[in-house]
Structure 1
């Protein structure tokens, strides 16, 4: 993405937010707590996120 495209994208988001049409995704506190619990018992962050919670570490999904 070029700098100009990035700027136009951010301008569009700002305009949409002002119009009340853009809302970012809310934080999933339960998901964060589950990952933190796995991390606290010694699981690596990658394993905690991918295997324990179901978040893929790879863009194409779990291979």
Structure 2
């Protein structure tokens, strides 16, 4: 059987919900920060070869 609703403590429930929301937001912000800071991959400073220049290079 369920417990009596008069045994609930509004302060305890409010603190529990605020702590849960805070932890959730901390995880979301942490994921966002680490996603922003992670390496984006290789960036080539020189332009990629086209098929024509690749053929010319190989033909030399």
- TM-score, scaled relative to structure 1: 0.30
- In terms of fraction of residues, the more helix-rich structure is 2
Structure with greater Cα Rg: 2
